[in-house]
Amino acid sequence: MTTAPSPEYAAVWNKLQLHYNEPNLLETILRKVEEAGVTKKDLEGPNGWAYFSNVDQYHNAKQGATETLLEKLNITRGAAVVDLGCGMGGVARAIVAKYQDVKVTGLDLSTEYVRVAKGLTETVKMTGSAQFFNGDMQDLSRIPEGAFDFAVSMSAAMNVPNKLTFFKEAFRVLKAGGKLGIWDLVRVPGEEMPDFYTYYSSPSENFIEVFDKYLNYATEAGFIINFHKIVDGSDVLTAPEVCKLAVQEVSFNTLMTGANGRPKMADMSATNAAGKPWKQTGMLVCEKPGSS
Ligand SMILES: C[S@@+](CC[C@H](N)C(=O)[O-])C[C@H]1O[C@@H](n2cnc3c(N)ncnc32)[C@H](O)[C@@H]1O
């Protein structure tokens, strides 16, 4: 399913490829988890996925955010799900752990993160249920129309310049009645953009947009809007108890740099402490009309 970026997008693509790239990330994660005393048996057990949930949920509020979005999507048993901009595959593995008999396909621009996604999925014995590909979420032309029951995308559309194309592509690959769930950093008119945004790539490579435009694009692509909200901390569900197993040293705060990532984390923590960041997160659930 690998897709090459269009020529006009190639420069941004190449910069993002460098940003979402930490050499030997898979090996570092696995080594640190082992050093923390987690055994092969632990990782291959039903809670194996949770040991990585500090690092493989590369978005604000981590697994709590994932639970919040999933609650609105109501993924059904046996569903086919696509994760657009899946990063290291944490959301995909959380979906596999939570819902029976689902199959998740993850697509991401970063070749390194796709390698990490495959490696962690293999480690926790979920390869039969989650698979990962390198590609552009604005071009899903290799996926047949109506292939999926659900689509998710967390903190990824913010990096995409052509959001309307992204919505149209998501619409095309969903079945009638299928739902798309988005959790993303958005611009809120009148609110200052915190500096930590650059942790998720520098301003020339992120395309953070006002939330109303997401709603317009979704509608223009053909979706019916089921739910939308600029969320704050009080909207976020508690992560399941099992996520307490997550190894603290294996966190995106410490393991991933990207361009200027570590210094920017200090800004993120300070903004968090000031109780501000929630004003910039949008959650949207929309549906392709018709019944499946
Ligand atoms: C902040 S990370 C979020 C990863 C994952 N969704 C999660 O929540 O853990 C943003 C991800 O979007 C991916 N991304 C950015 N632009 C993309 C594009 N055009 N197509 C596919 N993936 C993209 C990046 O490679 C990166 O893995």
Q: Which atom of ligand 1 is nearest to the CA of 110?
A: 25
Q: Which residues pair with 154 in a beta bridge?
A: 183
Distance CA(3)–CA(12), nearest Å, equals 15
Q: Residue 148: helix, strand or coil by DSSP?
A: strand
Residue ranges and CATH numbers for the domains of the chain are 7-287 (3.40.50.150)
Tell me the two tokens of residue 284: 């949207």
Q: Residue 178: helix, strand or coil by DSSP?
A: strand
pLDDT digits (tens, 9 = 90+) for 45-102: 999 999 999 899 988 888 999 999 999 999 999 999 999 999 999 999 999 999 999 9
The answer, yes or no, to whether residue 142 has pLDDT greater than 50, is: yes
Q: Which residues pair with 208 in a beta bridge?
A: none
To test the pocket of ligand 1, the residue of 1, 159, 200 to mutate (highest count of ligand atoms within 8 Å of its CB) is 159
Pairing assessment for the beta strands 148-154 and 80-84 based on DSSP bridges? parallel
The answer, yes or no, to whether residue 277 has pLDDT greater than 80, is: no
142-153 average pLDDT score: 97
pLDDT at 241: 95
Q: Find the 155 Cα to ligand 1 centroid distance in Å.
A: 7
Distance CA(103)–CA(82), nearest Å, equals 8
Q: Find the 101 Cα to ligand 1 centroid distance in Å.
A: 25
**How would residue 33 be classed by pLDDT, with cut points 50, 70 and 90?**
very high
The answer, yes or no, to whether residue 257 has pLDDT greater than 90, is: no
The answer, yes or no, to whether residue 25 has pLDDT greater than 60, is: yes
Find the residues whose C-beta lies inside 6 A of ligand 1: 16, 20, 57-59, 85-87, 90-91, 107-110, 113, 136-138, 154-156, 159-160, 200
pLDDT at 265: 61
- Sheet containing 80-84, strands listed edge to edge, beginning at the edge strand earlier in sequence: 130-134, 103-108, 80-84, 148-154, 174-185, 281-287, 224-231
145-156 average pLDDT score: 97
Q: Which atom of ligand 1 is nearest to the CA of 201?
A: 1
Is residue 78 within 8 A of residue 54, CB to CB? The reply is no
Question: Is residue 42 within a helix (H) or strand (E), and if so which, with residue range?
Answer: helix 40-44
Distance CA(248)–CA(32), nearest Å, equals 10
Tell me the two tokens of residue 146: 């109506």
The answer, yes or no, to whether residue 283 has pLDDT greater than 70, is: yes
pLDDT at 1: 46
The answer, yes or no, to whether residue 267 has pLDDT greater than 90, is: no
Q: How far is CA 260 from the centre of its chain?
A: 21
